[in-house]
């Protein structure tokens, strides 16, 4: 997947925490603020064949 770097607003990363069957990741505050995410909002994960991932806010 190629990314047009001019269309990127923010690049950030977090650590994944795995404990037993529970998997958690923290959405960085800057992303939460920019997407105006609220408790209970959903995000959708896309995994591509090349191993890249895209995460999008679910808009009803």
Note whether residue 38 is domain-resident: yes
- For β-strands 43-47 and 22-25, DSSP reports them as unpaired
Q: CA 13 to CA 27: how far, in whole Å?
A: 9
Q: Does any domain span residue 3?
A: no
pLDDT, mean over the chain? 88
What's the domain range around 33?
14-57
CATH of the domain at 47: 2.10.260
Burial 8-21 (b: 16+ CB within 10 A, else e): eeeeeeeeeeeeee
User: What pLDDT, in 10s, does the model give residues 8-30?
Assistant: 888 888 887 888 888 888 899 99
Is 19 within the bounds of a domain? yes
Over residues 42-56, the mean pLDDT reads 90
- Tell me if 20 is assigned to some domain: yes
Query: Considering the entire predicted model, what is its pTM?
Result: 0.70
- Cβ contact 14:26 at 8 Å: yes
Q: How many domains does the chain have?
A: 1
Phi, psi angle pair for 2, to nearest 5°: -95, 145
């Amino acid at each position: 997947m190629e990314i047009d770097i001019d269309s990127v607003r923010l690049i950030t990363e977090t650590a994944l925490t795995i404990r037993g069957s529970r998997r958690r990741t923290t959405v960085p505050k800057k992303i939460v603020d920019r997407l105006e995410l609220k408790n209970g909002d959903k995000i959708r994960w896309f995994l591509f064949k090349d191993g890249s991932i895209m995460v999008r806010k679910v808009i009803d």
